[in-house]
Structure 1
């Protein structure tokens, strides 16, 4: 097989990529509480908060605000963003944990470039986040959030790009924070202002009123 510019065969990169993705998949399967907690937050908003806000927020989608949709439908994209945001931060939190426990050294002894190791870990985290999103879609379908089946396919590129962006942000934070305890505080400091200041939960024109 042809060698890459670094002198390693392409098969070496593929084996490394598969190993990192498989490791993250096994961690995800063994940490069921992580999977449950990732779904509890958005489902709490979808099932409980939406029931109260539905009577307060009329969400317009067509100017001059004459066509309305259910609040559950409006917040679904924002809740998907919540899943990807928290997953990106959790994946980066695991990097800080691996660094403190010494597991990161096992990964860094690889002769492959470090940028490839980071990209592989980022891709593995995105894959886990996408799985969580589609499980959320399956549950939300029973709560009157029922897009056309093609929508589940067309949204996939956006999910991947968003996951890469938020995962990269988490990796940046994990490179700046050296201790696990500090990272949890920094993570909350970044997540909550970013999320609640956006239009994920309520339209900005409502806030202006």
Structure 2
């Protein structure tokens, strides 16, 4: 197991160094959710007040409702950004060198997922600290119970990014695919509005939102932030994570590439 641990530490350390050297990436990851929290939420507060729905015990402001969704936004964008770096590494040749190591392919992909998820979680807690300073606060214990939900959701979204990167061969194409994945997943979810509001306007859109894996990741985060457990959201998030991870392992299988060339 020593070789596996060394590889895990090396890949995670590489992700951390890349993140440290790209400070604008950290700032950009915070600017997006903060714009929604401080600008859009202030404008939509009167129109989109949220009634009493689980896990909340009373009426809440719109800012309080969207904070879990914005945490999911950070995980989603960072998962895609990390996968974008995989496409870049493959073009530069460093990814090919990594994948030729004698370690199992699934372990190398897991190490990549672990590094990107750890960075995403740090960004989420930094965002929550800023939100806390602006008066959007959760129970103190919720910041602890939130961690497992962030890990599961971060792995699921990171695995989705790996699946996309395995099929996209050029950096320019991946950037376009990201836009076709990120924005539909984010807006067709419960991140910005409860699903019952969506059901009032369109049953079809409600069904799409209910089937969206990102919706279940957001709900898992929402309940965990308030110290509650959402079993259905956990199951659906784990299932999606398993499917995406299997797709990533299959996509990066060298035998598949050899068969395609033959």
Please give the TM-score of this superposition, normalised by the length of structure 1. 0.91
Query: Which of 84, 99, 104 is residue 108 of structure 1 equivalent to?
Result: 99
Query: Which of 71, 83, 92 is residue 92 of structure 1 equivalent to?
Result: 83
Residue 174 of structure 2 is matched in structure 1 by: 183
How far apart, in 1, do the equivalents of 2:186 and 2:69 lie? 9
Pairing 1:38-187 to 2, within 5 Å after superposition: 38-62=29-53, 67-187=58-178
How far apart, in 2, do the equivalents of 1:58 and 1:139 lie? 22
Residue 247 of structure 2 is matched in structure 1 by: none
Any stretches of 5+ residues in structure 1 without a counterpart?
1-9
Any stretches of 5+ residues in structure 2 without a counterpart?
202-262
Q: Which runs of 4+ in 1 moved over 4 A?
A: none
**What SS does the corresponding residue of 2:29 show, helix, strand or coil?**
helix
How far apart, in 2, do the equivalents of 1:193 and 1:89 lie? 14
How far apart, in 1, do the equivalents of 2:8 and 2:173 lie? 29
Offset from partner CA, 1:19-40 (integer Å, 9 cap, x none) = 0000000000000111111111
Larger relative contact order (Cα-Cα within 8 Å, sequence gap ≥ 6): 1
Query: Which of 185, 197, 205 is residue 196 of structure 2 equivalent to?
Result: 205
**CA RMSD between the two structures:** 1.4
Residue 11 of structure 2 is matched in structure 1 by: 20
Provide closer, same or farther for how the CA distance between residues 62 and 120 of structure 1 changes in structure 2, counting only shifts above 3 A. closer
Number of residue pairs aligned between Structure 1 and Structure 2? 198
